[in-house]
Structure 1
Amino acid sequence: MPDAPPVISVADVQHLAGLARIALAPDEIEHLAGELTQIVDSVRKVQEVATPDVPATSHPLPLVNVLRADEPSAVLTQEQVLSGAPAARDGRFQVPAILGEEQ
């Protein structure tokens, strides 16, 4: 990789802002040009270190499932579930229509 740091110019930021349809003030454009240059430089440094002998990781620590095992157990009957509903009809919860349907 070349040693010259990548530079995101003000014109680049203006072009990207135009593509994203974001209105930016001139001082915001200059500030973002500097920040984006730092971000690109940081990514370049990480790419220099990331070699084929370094395994890719998504998390620095091993993840362990802390949930209990999924085991079948007793469930509520349909009548028990519907007994607490404000309204039921044909074995289902009855709710008001919301999509312009006639009631």
Structure 2
Amino acid sequence: MTAISREEVAHLARLSRLAVTEQELDMFAGQLDVILQSIARIGEVAAADIPPTSHSVPLVNVLREDVPAPCLPREKALAGAPDVAEERFRVPRILDEE
């Protein structure tokens, strides 16, 4: 017995504003049924004594220490810029002034 009917697939398609053919209704019903059965199977396997996890291995913070270092001089930073104005990068305006 299937977990999802053609009528339910058609209803989901209407809610999602998807145009599906009669053939697609049958195909999607079968595919969704396989997905729903797989999810149900996973629910049977999950044990109550196993805590939920987001990763299979423990994660640690891998960021390096923030060590102050000398900055790039302004002249060098602006040397490769395509356009400079008032010692700053000049970029095209994207917003009009109101």
Fold-level similarity (TM above 0.5): yes
What is the root-mean-square deviation of aligned Cα atoms in Å? Answer: 2.4
Is residue 85 from structure 1 mapped to residue 76 from structure 2 by the alignment? Answer: no
Give me the TM-score of the superposition, normalised by structure 2: 0.78
Is residue 17 from structure 1 mapped to residue 26 from structure 2 by the alignment? Answer: no
Letter in 2 for 1:80: K
Give me the TM-score of the superposition, normalised by structure 1: 0.75
Instruction: Write out aligned runs for 1:62-73 (5 A).
Output: 62-63=58-59, 68-73=64-69
Is residue 31 from structure 1 mapped to residue 31 from structure 2 by the alignment? Answer: no
The 2-side partners of 1:50 and 1:62 are apart by: 20
- State, as a whole percentage, how many aligned pairs show the same letter: 46
Is residue 44 from structure 1 mapped to residue 40 from structure 2 by the alignment? Answer: yes
How big is the shift at 1:66? 5.8
* Structure 1 runs, 4 residues or longer, greater than 6 Å off: none
* Structure 1: unaligned runs, 5 residues or longer: none
Return 85-94 or 22-31, whichever deviates more.
85-94
